[in-house]
Amino acid sequence: MTYTQVALLGVVLAVILDAGLLRTRLLTRRVFWTSYAIIVFFQLITNGMFTGFGIVGYNGDAIMGGSSPAEGPPPFIGDGRIAFAPVEDLLFGFALILMTLSLWVFWGRRGVQRKPTSGPPIWRKG
């Protein structure tokens, strides 16, 4: 399989975990998508550093875009890349985040350290 195919499979498995196996249904919740929006913003920064500085390289045969580093850094956007990183990395990250958060909610629902609960922020009385 290519990275593109494995990444799609990873997302499918994470969705099955959340919607089917654990029934945490995070994909239906506003709290998940709000959190994901924050996380993906920072993911673009960190992935950009990993790939832009050449810490991690990718084989063009395994992704939609071309290889990096071939000659110098990959394009910031275009050729299957966003912020230097292959778009496949967004699928990889989504699968990792959804799997982790689904398990977090699952254990809490099972009564494993549901408490102490989160909040309130220090600027609010509580």
Binding site for other proteins (CB under 8 A): 1-3, 6, 10, 24-26, 29-32, 34-35, 38-39, 42, 46, 49-50, 53-59, 61-63, 93, 96-97, 99-101, 103-109, 112-114, 116-122
Of 20 and 113, which has the nearer Cβ to other proteins?
113
Minimum separation from the CB atom of position 20 to other proteins (A): 14
Sequence-distant (6+) residues with CB within 8 A of 71 are: none
Residue 121: CB atoms within 10 Å: 7
The DSSP H or E segment spanning 48 is helix 30-52
Instruction: State both tokens at 6.
Output: 């494995």
For residue 123, the minimal CB distance to other proteins (Å) is 8
